[in-house]
Amino acid sequence: MTRSDTIGFAPRDRDWHPPAYTPAYRSSLLRSPRRQPIALDHSTGELTGPVFGHADVSSLDSDLLANFAAPDISPIGERILIHGRVLDEQARPVPNTLVEIWQANASGRYRHKNDSYLGALDPQFGGCGRALTDQQGRYQFRTLKPGAYPWPNGGNDWRPAHVHFSIFGHAYAQRLITQLYFEGDPLIAHCPIVNTIADPKAVDRLIAKLDLTETVPFDMVAYKFDIVLRGACSTVFENRLEGN
């Protein structure tokens, strides 16, 4: 038994995650609770059985440059590779974990019927993908760098380029959701959602770093984004504001 196997869970730092009620983020006015939360027992359906089949995830699922495009046609935009590892609080890899992503296209528009932004839709880009981590907790996606877009929060607020991440365990209740931002984007500092996070170190955990060691020459640059599920260096998860 190694030393890491004997270390218990680190206490939650509840100041690491943002408060549920943050007036500058207008949506939090309706979403935040007004009373103390109560604990509810999970149902059997939430606690048992995987919510996906490992055999259903193919290599094409993680290639957003091809999984919605017609043969021999590429979507429009800056081609990038996003890669990283899913780790526990002791920096040990978490294998066979389902990682899903969804994002806007290069013009800042989602392929969703309710997205009315004037950015152009790209018929070759679906904007979503999934991958299973390997035995070292590694994942990767080929995709496009999403564009920034305006949103009706304060009159002139813009979302930085970002990619949504969902990390699944082996039951429905074991799901964490977060967002990836890109190193060097000046809009990060002005985003009301990002600014709900008080600790700059926690914000930094959400920023993918340029990784020239994994760049594909004459094809795409790479960004590295490790996801830590719990502990002092946990990634901030938007659906677990109380800590995870």
- Tens digit of each residue's pLDDT, the chain (244 residues): 344 444 555 666 777 778 888 889 888 888 888 888 787 887 777 777 666 666 789 999 999 999 999 999 999 999 999 999 999 989 999 999 999 999 999 999 999 999 999 999 999 999 999 999 999 999 999 999 999 999 999 889 999 999 999 998 877 678 899 999 999 999 999 999 999 999 999 999 999 999 999 999 999 999 999 999 988 789 998 877 655 5
For residue 173, the model assigns a pLDDT of 73
**CA dist list (Å): 66 to 55, 69, 138, 161, 225:** 20, 5, 21, 21, 22
For residue 136, the model assigns a pLDDT of 98
**CA dist list (Å): 60 to 66, 67, 82, 128, 145:** 7, 6, 15, 11, 18
For residue 133, the model assigns a pLDDT of 96
Helix (H) or strand (E) holding 181, with range, is: strand 175-182
Contacts of 182 (CB under 8 A, 6+ apart): 145, 160, 161, 162, 207, 208, 223
Which domains, from first to last, does the chain contain? 48-228 (2.60.130.10)
H-only helix segments in 109-149: none
Q: Are strands 138-144 and 79-87 parallel, antiparallel or unpaired?
A: antiparallel
User: ∠211-56-170 over CA atoms, to 5°?
Assistant: 80
184: left (phi over 0), alpha (psi -120 to 50) or beta: left
Residue 138's closest CA among 202, 81, 190?
81
Residues designated as active site: 110, 149, 159, 162, 164
Characterize 69-83 residue by residue with b for buried, 16 or more Cβ atoms within 10 angstroms of its Cβ, and e for exposed: beeeeebebebbbbb
> 147: which 2 tokens?
């564009």
For residue 52, the model assigns a pLDDT of 67
Residues 97 and 167 sit within 8 Å (Cβ to Cβ) = yes
For residue 238, the model assigns a pLDDT of 85
